[in-house]
C-alpha cells in the first residue's frame, strides 16, 4: 500500500492532536499562586511575604529611597483587624481616628475577578529616615480595593510616593486584572 505525503501528514497530525490537548497548561512565569489567591507579578517588581499572611510587592524607589508597594491579603471572617467586609467598609466611611489624618475618599466600585469591589484612596506621609532627628516627610498616595469573598474578604493596596504614583499605577492595575480569589 502506497501512502501519499499529504495523507501521511494528516494521519500523524490526527494521532498527535489528542496528546497536545491533554498536556497540562503551564502557568505564565509571573503567575504567583497561594492558598487564598493568584495574581501576576508586575515586570520589574519583586515580592516578599507579609507578616499578616499576605504578600508585599516591591516596586521602584524615589529619590528618598521610599518604594512603591502593592499588598495583597485575605482577611478571614472574625479577623482581629477587620472582622468582615462590612466592618472594613464601615471603618473607611468613618471619620479619621486622628484629627491630623486626612480623610479617606470613596471611589467608584470596580469589577475585580467578576466581583464588585469597593475602592478608596487617601493621602498619607512617610517619614525618612524614621528614627532620625533630621527626618524628611515624603508625600504618599494610597489606594485600597476591598474584594468580597465567600469567607471574609481580600484587600489589595497600592502605596506609593506621590512622585511615583501615576507612573507606577499600571502595575497595580495589572495586579487587579490578574487577581483570582480562591475563596
Digitized pLDDT (tens) for each residue of the chain, 183 residues in all: 454 434 433 343 334 444 333 433 334 445 666 678 999 999 999 998 887 778 999 999 999 999 999 999 999 999 999 999 999 999 999 988 887 778 899 999 999 999 999 999 999 999 998 888 889 999 999 999 999 999 999 999 999 999 999 999 999 999 999 999 998
**pLDDT for position 33:** 64
Which residues of 11-152 form beta strands (DSSP E)? 31-33, 37-40, 46-49, 55-61, 67-75, 105-112, 115-128, 136-148
pLDDT at res. 14 = 39
Angle at 42 between CA 37 and CA 47, to 5 degrees: 65
Element (H, E) at 5: helix 5-22
pLDDT of residue 18: 40
pLDDT value at residue 6: 41
Cα-based distances in Å from 114 to 13, 38, 177:
38, 14, 10
Cell numbers given for 183 = 475563596
* Residue 103, pLDDT score: 85
Distance in angstroms (rounded) separating the CA atoms of residues 63 and 65: 5
Amino acid at each position: 500500500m502506497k501512502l501519499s505525503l499529504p495523507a501521511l501528514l494528516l494521519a500523524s497530525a490526527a494521532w498527535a492532536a489528542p496528546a497536545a490537548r491533554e498536556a497540562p497548561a503551564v502557568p505564565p512565569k509571573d503567575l504567583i499562586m497561594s492558598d487564598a489567591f493568584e495574581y501576576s507579578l508586575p515586570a520589574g517588581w519583586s515580592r516578599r511575604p507579609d507578616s499578616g499572611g499576605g504578600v508585599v510587592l516591591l516596586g521602584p524607589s524615589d529619590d528618598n529611597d521610599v518604594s512603591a508597594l502593592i499588598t495583597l491579603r485575605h482577611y478571614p471572617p472574625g479577623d482581629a483587624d477587620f472582622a468582615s467586609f462590612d466592618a472594613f467598609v464601615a471603618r473607611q466611611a468613618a471619620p479619621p481616628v486622628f484629627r491630623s489624618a486626612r480623610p479617606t475618599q470613596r471611589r467608584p466600585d470596580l469589577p475585580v475577578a467578576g466581583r464588585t469591589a469597593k475602592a478608596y484612596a487617601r493621602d498619607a506621609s512617610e517619614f525618612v529616615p524614621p528614627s532620625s532627628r533630621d527626618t524628611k516627610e515624603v508625600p504618599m498616595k494610597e489606594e485600597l480595593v476591598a474584594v468580597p469573598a465567600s469567607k471574609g474578604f481580600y484587600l489589595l493596596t497600592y502605596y506609593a510616593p506621590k512622585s511615583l504614583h501615576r507612573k507606577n499605577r499600571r502595575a497595580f492595575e495589572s495586579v487587579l486584572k490578574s487577581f483570582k480569589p480562591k475563596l
